[in-house]
C-alpha cells in the first residue's frame, strides 16, 4: 500500500465533533508532548478544550490511532506555518501579563535579528539615516560603530554631507565606549526608534481587500477586479494573488477534503462540482465512498443544464465552509499561493 494513501476512517469517528477530536488528540499526546501546544492557546481556547476533555468519556483506541496518524500526516505535509502579528498577540495575551506581551510584540514586530544591532542592520539605510540625522553626532558615531561596516557605510552615504563628516571624525577619535553608554543607547533605540518603526508597519490593505472580495459573488467580484485592472492594474493583480478561490481547494490534503465532503450540503456540493475542473472533481470523488461518488455523479447528470451563476454561488458556499472548518480547527487550509503555508 502507498504511504500517501488515505487512511480508512473508523466508523466510531463519526460520533465525535471537531472540538471532541481535538480534545481526544490532546489527551493522547499527554503532558510531555502536548505542553508546547497548550502554551500556544488563548485562555478561551484552553477553557473550551478542557471542557471537551472533561466530557469526553471513553474513546475507542481505533479513533485515537486514526487521529494521531492523521495529525502526524497533515503536519508533516506542511512546508511551513503561517501566522500573523495579531494571532501571536492574541495567543500571548492568554498566558502572559499585558506589559510583557507589549514588550515582546514591540520586539518581534521590528526587523528580525537576535540583538538590537542585528535588527538595525536589517533596517534600510534610508530609513535609518532619516532617523539618525536628528540625533547627536556622537550618538550616531556609537551606533554606526556597532553596525556591520557595509551597512554603516550605506547609512553614512544617506546622511547630510557635513553631518556625516562630523560623525566620521568622532568615530576616528572614539575610544572604547563604556558598556553602560552602549546599554543606554540600545535601550533608547528599543523604546523609541524600534517602537515607532513597528507602529509604521501596517497591514497591507490588499490583504483586507482580498478577504472582502472572497465574500463577493463571482460576477460582482470579476466586475470589480476588471474595473481595478483599468484603474490600478498592480493592485488588481495583488488582490487576485491573495484571494483564496474555489480552484485553490485543489491544494487541500485528501483528509481535509473528506471533512468538507462530510459537512457539505450534498445538493450544493453537486452543483459546485458540476462546473468544477476535472482535477477538482476527482479530488472530491476520491474523498467519498464508491457508492457515494456514484450517487453524486448521478445527481449531477440528473440536473441537466444549470446556470453558471448557480454553480459559482455553490462554489463560493463550499469555499466559505472550508474556511469555517479551518477556523474551527477541523481542517488545515493550505493556500498554494503562500508556498504551502498553513493558515491558522
One digit per residue, the tens of pLDDT, for the chain of length 344 reads 344 445 577 888 888 888 888 888 888 887 777 777 777 776 777 777 787 888 778 888 888 888 888 777 665 554 444 445 555 666 566 556 777 666 666 555 544 444 566 667 667 787 788 878 888 888 888 888 888 888 889 889 989 989 999 999 988 887 766 666 676 776 766 655 655 554 444 456 777 787 787 767 667 878 888 888 888 888 888 787 677 778 888 888 888 899 999 999 999 999 999 888 888 899 999 999 999 999 999 989 888 888 888 888 888 888 888 878 876 777 776 544 444 433 33
The fold for domain 116-201 equals: Annexin V; domain 1 (1.10.220)
| Cell output for 196 | 515607532
Work out whether strand 341-343 and strand 80-82 pair parallel, antiparallel, or are unpaired: parallel
Domain ranges of the chain: 13-77, 116-201, 205-241, 246-328
Annotation: CATH topology of 205-241? 1.20.5
**Distances in Å between the alpha carbon of 166 and those of 120, 136, 170?**
21, 10, 6
Domains 116-201 and 205-241 share a fold: no
pLDDT of residue 260: 92
Query: How far, in Å, are 23, 67, 161, 181, 267 from residue 30 at the CA level?
Result: 11, 14, 63, 48, 41
Q: Identify the pLDDT of residue 58.
A: 84
| pLDDT value at residue 103 | 62
Residue 129: name the closest of 106, 109, 147, 102 by CA. 147
Given phi > 0 = left and psi -120 to 50 = alpha, else beta, which region is 193? Answer: alpha
CATH number listed for the domain at residues 246-328 = 1.10.220.30
Which SS3 state, helix, strand or coil, does residue 80 take?
A: strand
Whether the CB-CB separation of 119 and 93 falls below 8 Å is answered with no
Amino acid at each position: 500500500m502507498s504511504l500517501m494513501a488515505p487512511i480508512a476512517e473508523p466508523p466510531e469517528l463519526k460520533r465525535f465533533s471537531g472540538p471532541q477530536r481535538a480534545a481526544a488528540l490532546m489527551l493522547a499526546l499527554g503532558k510531555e508532548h502536548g505542553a508546547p501546544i497548550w502554551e500556544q492557546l488563548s485562555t478561551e481556547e484552553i477553557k473550551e478544550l478542557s471542557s471537551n476533555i472533561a466530557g469526553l468519556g471513553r474513546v475507542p483506541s481505533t479513533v485515537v490511532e486514526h487521529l494521531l496518524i492523521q495529525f502526524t500526516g497533515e503536519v508533516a505535509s506542511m512546508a511551513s506555518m503561517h501566522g500573523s502579528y495579531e494571532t501571536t498577540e492574541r495567543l500571548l495575551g492568554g498566558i502572559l501579563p499585558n506589559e510583557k506581551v507589549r514588550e515582546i510584540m514591540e520586539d518581534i514586530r521590528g526587523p528580525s535579528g537576535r540583538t538590537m544591532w542585528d535588527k538595525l542592520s536589517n533596517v534600510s539605510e534610508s530609513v535609518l539615516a532619516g532617523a539618525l540625522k536628528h540625533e547627536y553626532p556622537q550618538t550616531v558615531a556609537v551606533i554606526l560603530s556597532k553596525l556591520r561596516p557595509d551597512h554603516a557605510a550605506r547609512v553614512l552615504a544617506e546622511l547630510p554631507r557635513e553631518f556625516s563628516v562630523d560623525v566620521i571624525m568622532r568615530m576616528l577619535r572614539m575610544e572604547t565606549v563604556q558598556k553602560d553608554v552602549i546599554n543606554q543607547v540600545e535601550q533608547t533605540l528599543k523604546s523609541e526608534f524600534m517602537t515607532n518603526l513597528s507602529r509604521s508597519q501596517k497591514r497591507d490593505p490588499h490583504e483586507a481587500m482580498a478577504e472582502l472580495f472572497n465574500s463577493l459573488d463571482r460576477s460582482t467580484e470579476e466586475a470589480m477586479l476588471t474595473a481595478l485592472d483599468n484603474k490600478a492594474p498592480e493592485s488588481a493583480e495583488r488582490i487576485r494573488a491573495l484571494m483564496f478561490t474555489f480552484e485553490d481547494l485543489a491544494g487541500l490534503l485528501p483528509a481535509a477534503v473528506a471533512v468538507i465532503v462530510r459537512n457539505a450540503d450534498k445538493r450544493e456540493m453537486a452543483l459546485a462540482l458540476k462546473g468544477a475542473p476535472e482535477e477538482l472533481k476527482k479530488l472530491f470523488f476520491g474523498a467519498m465512498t464508491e457508492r457515494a461518488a456514484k450517487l453524486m455523479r448521478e445527481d449531477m447528470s440528473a440536473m441537466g443544464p444549470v446556470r453558471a451563476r448557480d454553480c459559482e454561488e455553490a462554489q463560493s458556499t463550499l469555499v466559505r465552509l472550508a474556511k469555517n472548518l479551518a477556523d474551527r480547527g477541523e481542517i488545515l487550509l493550505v493556500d498554494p499561493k503562500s508556498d504551502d503555508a498553513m493558515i491558522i
